[in-house]
DNA sequence: TAACGATATGTATTATAAAACATATTGAAA
DNA sequence: TTTCAATATGTTTTATAATACATATCGTTA
């Protein structure tokens, strides 16, 4: 019997601002986890990435977006934390929506091809 | 005057076979240049990549595709060369077509978003 | 049959990105 | 006013990918 092969198409999208990356899959996941856990540190731990990298990603996003996507708080009993702004939530929503639409589009179109 | 920012969406697609990458933008460009120049060596030089890497890419593609995308010839007055097969040309066509369709789709959809 | 230029492939070096480590700072709450 | 956990940031180390280098092989053609 011939070996069965699984053929499929994979994609990634990124939002850019002035030729610099604003958002991609990883950063959106980071935002989602910050929203859920209330801090960059917890989000980074969940994603098994270094806190430093996560912090830098947030910093870059905030610089490049029209408005900050995450606001941070220093000090306090719990040491502080981070919150996703309305703008940030909007960014997550836009990204995920476009991602889903693209997924459906590509699945449909890919079926028409032989590869 | 407020600073004008250029916002846009960027994407990449890949063809996969059994969870392994078969084709992406770079490999397709490599195939196109092999087709035009008649050898892996010339294509690699044009793309400023090492011959070794180009050769390995071709090797992987040939292993993973149903049929070889490139056939190679050793020896001869010109030392040999490489040719893109009909299957390879088909792969290029499929990839570029899907890429273009996706580009149009994303441009249209992205305009509807605020990011 | 000698020469040529491309394929084929192993090894070593370099460049880059990621992670790890270390430490200072913050400020609300106990 | 001491404590705490998270932010903030510099430095070092590690891991990985890319490149560079070296060399053998091939077979047609002159």
Mean pLDDT to the nearest integer, B99-111: 97
Q: Can you give the pLDDT at residue B3?
A: 66
Task: Specify whether domain A22-110 bears CATH 1.10.10.10.
Answer: yes
Give the C-alpha separation, A9 to B53, whole Å. Answer: 23
> Which residues from A are below 8 Å from B14, CB to CB?
9-11
Give the C-alpha separation, A94 to A87, whole Å. Answer: 10
Best CA proximity match to A16, nearest among A86, A51, A64, A82: A64
CATH code, B22-111:
1.10.10.10
Q: Please, which pLDDT band fits residue A3 given cuts at 50, 70 and 90?
A: low
pLDDT at A42 > cutoff 90: yes
If 0-12 CB within 10 Å is exposed, 13-18 middle and 19+ buried, where does residue A4 land?
Answer: exposed
pLDDT at B24 > cutoff 70: yes
Q: Please, which pLDDT band fits residue A110 given cuts at 50, 70 and 90?
A: very high
pLDDT at B115 > cutoff 90: no
pLDDT at B49 > cutoff 80: yes
pLDDT at B109 > cutoff 80: yes
Q: Can you give the pLDDT at residue B59?
A: 95
Contact A16 B23 (CB under 8 A): no
Residues 54-83 of B with CB under 8 A from A: 66
Q: Can you give the pLDDT at residue B93?
A: 97
State pLDDT tens for residues A49-108: 999 999 999 999 999 999 999 999 988 888 889 999 999 999 999 999 999 999 999 999
List, in sequence order, every residue forming a beta bridge with B12; answer none if it has no partner: A12
Mean pLDDT to the nearest integer, A16-30: 94
State pLDDT tens for residues B76-99: 878 889 999 999 999 999 999 999
Say yes or no: Cβ of A74 under 7 A from any atom of strand D. Answer: yes
Q: B1 vs B61, which has greater pLDDT?
A: B61
Minimal Cα–Cα distance from A77 to chain B, Å? 36
Average pLDDT, chain B: 93
């Amino acid at each position: 019997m011939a070996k069965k092969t699984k053929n499929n198409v994979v994609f990634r999208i990124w939002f850019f601002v002035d030729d610099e990356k604003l958002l991609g899959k990883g950063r959106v996941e980071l935002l989602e986890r910050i929203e859920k856990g209330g801090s960059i540190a917890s989000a980074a731990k969940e994603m098994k990435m270094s806190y430093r990298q996560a912090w830098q990603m947030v910093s870059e996003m905030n610089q490049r977006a029209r408005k900050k996507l995450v606001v941070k708080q220093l000090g306090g009993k719990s040491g502080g934390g981070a919150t996703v702004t309305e703008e940030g939530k909007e960014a997550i929503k836009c990204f995920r929506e476009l991602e889903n639409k693209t997924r459906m589009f590509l699945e449909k179109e890919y079926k028409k091809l032989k590869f």
